[in-house]
Amino acid sequence: MNNTKTTNILLLTIVITVVFYFLKILSFIFVPLILSMFIALMFLPVKRWLNKHGVPRPVSVLIIVLLIGGILKVGFELIQLTSKEILADTSLIERMELKFVELIVLIENFFGIQRLEGENVILHYFRKSSIINNFGSTIEFIGDTLTMTLMTVFFTILWLSESINFQKLLNHTILKQKFSSIKVFMRIEKDLIKFVIVKFFISLLTGIGFTFTCLLFDVSWPVFWGLFAFVFNFVQMVGSFVSVIIASLFAFVELDSTGTLLFFIIVLTGIEVLMGGILEPVFMGRSFSINVIAILVMLMFWSYLWGVPGLIMSIPITVFLKIILEQFPGTKVIAELLSGNEENLNFVRFKK
């Protein structure tokens, strides 16, 4: 009996390892597939409302696709409008160059780095060869992003048109009973909408905080930095650091006093810590009954597996897995560990 149990555990470990290996190497398929599934689930209530009012299925799918495209277009237009204002500032590049040269010279003097007399600082540290190599990498990144975006759009249309029916997929694969699959499907849809609302609310507060901080310290383009922080906050963990660093670099060009710059960075960091480090984990944990530690572990795991898309989708995937694991007596303990609910965990152990 013990040998059989050990063999089953070893086989399960091998199967899980193989599954995650294929998830990693086939990320170019699974990332757009799962991302499109979450997008489709988010807009399913709109589709149901349209169908309820007599709108044909193809027309309702087209309306939702146009709605998604309109939301993205408004966001891009706002960013593009502010970007044009930044590019219109002809003295910005000169000021940036002067400030960064001063910073590099200070670092050189501090560490005793030797450089040829009269040699241009920018050309010394940013050689043409490295620019060419980075250009090739950038082109490859743009190509991969464009391909993944087109695949996501394609899969989203398939989900919405019910060419791929998520509820039936659950019913025929993981959950065999029709009632259970419908109940689980509704829970996943409800929790996904909760996640989007919480994330949107936290990102909005972060963007407002960045805007008012830039206004307070008289940093140019406060609306742009608010939008920048709002968008990047959807990228878990990494997005907040990127927002603070890039905004601080631009503030470094504009703020003359070192003390003022330091205080500006402290305020931005405080906003990110408050929103992303305290409020967001608390709201996520209460909304989905998931342990904060489990959220952080899943963030690191899915970021390792799929990079930035993994960071964005880590919490919805964790919620999805927790709901599925709750449906089976053998995996209920794992679901309770994710939720961190000690009373339920003790109850499950007692039943065993």
Same domain assignment for residues 68 and 212: no
Helix axes 342-351, 332-339, angle to 10 degrees: 160
Same domain assignment for residues 251 and 108: no
| Closest of 161, 163, 158 to residue 57, by C-alpha | 161
Q: Whole-angstrom Cα distance, residue 57 to residue 34? A: 22
For 237, left (φ over 0), alpha (ψ -120 to 50), or beta? left
Same domain assignment for residues 203 and 327: yes
- Asked if 181 contacts 170 with a C-beta cutoff of 8 angstroms, the reply is yes
Give me 154's structure tokens: 């394609």
pLDDT of residue 208: 92
Give me 303's structure tokens: 């970021």
Residue 199's φ and ψ, nearest 5 degrees, are -65, -40
Same domain assignment for residues 204 and 325: yes
Q: Which of 164, 186, 214 is at the close of a domain? A: 164
Give me 276's structure tokens: 């992303």
Report the half-sphere exposure of 297 (CA within 13 A, side-chain side).
9
Mean pLDDT, 10 residues at a time, over the chain (352 residues)? 68 80 86 87 85 85 87 77 69 68 69 58 51 54 75 84 71 63 77 83 91 89 86 79 86 79 90 81 68 80 86 84 80 77 45 44
Domain range for 350: 165-352
pLDDT of residue 212: 93
Compute and round to an integer the Cα radius of gyration of the chain.
25
Q: Please, what is the Cα angle at 170 between 340 and 332, to 5 degrees?
A: 25
Total of domains in the chain:
2
pLDDT of residue 342: 47
pLDDT of residue 344: 47
Give the predicted TM-score (pTM) of the model.
Answer: 0.73
Give me 34's structure tokens: 């799962």
Q: Whole-angstrom Cα distance, residue 231 to residue 75? A: 9
Same domain assignment for residues 254 and 339: yes
Same domain assignment for residues 176 and 134: no
Give me 216's structure tokens: 């307070």
Which residue type sits at 145? T
Same domain assignment for residues 148 and 206: no
Q: Please, what is the Cα angle at 74 between 72 and 77, to 5 degrees?
A: 105
Q: Which of 164, 184, 214 is at the close of a domain? A: 164
Q: Which of 164, 186, 211 is at the close of a domain? A: 164
Same domain assignment for residues 258 and 304: yes
Q: Whole-angstrom Cα distance, residue 79 to residue 243? A: 14
Same domain assignment for residues 284 and 146: no
Same domain assignment for residues 137 and 197: no
Same domain assignment for residues 48 and 134: yes
Same domain assignment for residues 119 and 265: no
Q: Locate all alpha helices (DSSP H) within the chain, ordered by sequence.
A: 2-25, 27-52, 57-88, 91-111, 121-125, 128-160, 166-172, 178-216, 222-232, 238-254, 258-272, 280-288, 292-306, 308-325, 332-339, 342-351
